[in-house]
Amino acid sequence: MSLELKEQYEKVYAFCYFKVHNVLVAEDITQETFLKYFETTQYLEKGKKLAFLYTIARNCCIDYFRKNKHTEILDDLSELTVEQSEDSITVIAVRSAVSKLSSKEQEIVLLRYTNELGIGEIAEYLDISRFALYRKLNEIKRKLKQNLRKEDFYG
């Protein structure tokens, strides 16, 4: 296959997790994403594969929220704080700074810095130009630096 399944699985899972904030639900949506992705082999021959994969993941997350809008979603984001970093204060500070960004900006941060997607790939997924994405990234950088208090992060 053209995409590295194991690697992409983790990345799509990370993407879904930050949409739904629940490990089991995120993993279910990840698996559903891949099943739908592999159903459409004709597109895979020539399409923008990663953008396609992430679009499916996003749509699956939207479907999930539509179906469960009256159900209380268990948020297990707290699992993140336990083992992720030795310096928990820094982690909390960074996460707090990220949470102050808009959901679109948070998505870009996740795609760019956690999933390490290329500029071109993110631009394809968001359906914007690379130049526009660079502008957004600079804006995010500025906001993050503003949000991160000097004593917490750079101190």
Residues in touch with other proteins (CB under 8 A): 1, 5-6, 9-10, 13-14, 17-18, 23-24, 26-27, 30-31, 34-35, 38, 41, 44, 76, 79-80, 84-85, 90-91, 94-95, 98, 109-110, 113-114, 116, 141, 144-145, 148, 153
Among residues 50, 51, 16, 56, which one has the least CA distance to residue 34? 56
SS3 content of the chain, % helix, strand, coil (to 5): 75, 0, 25
Cα 88 from chain centre: 21
Q: How far apart are CB 32 and other proteins at their closest, in Å?
A: 11
Give the tokens for residue 81: 């704080």
- Looking at the Cβ atoms of 22 and 126, the one nearer to other proteins is 22
Q: Strand, helix or coil at 44? A: helix
- Looking at the Cβ atoms of 69 and 135, the one nearer to other proteins is 135
Q: How far apart are CB 116 and other proteins at their closest, in Å?
A: 8
Q: What is the DSSP letter of 72?
A: P
- Looking at the Cβ atoms of 59 and 88, the one nearer to other proteins is 88
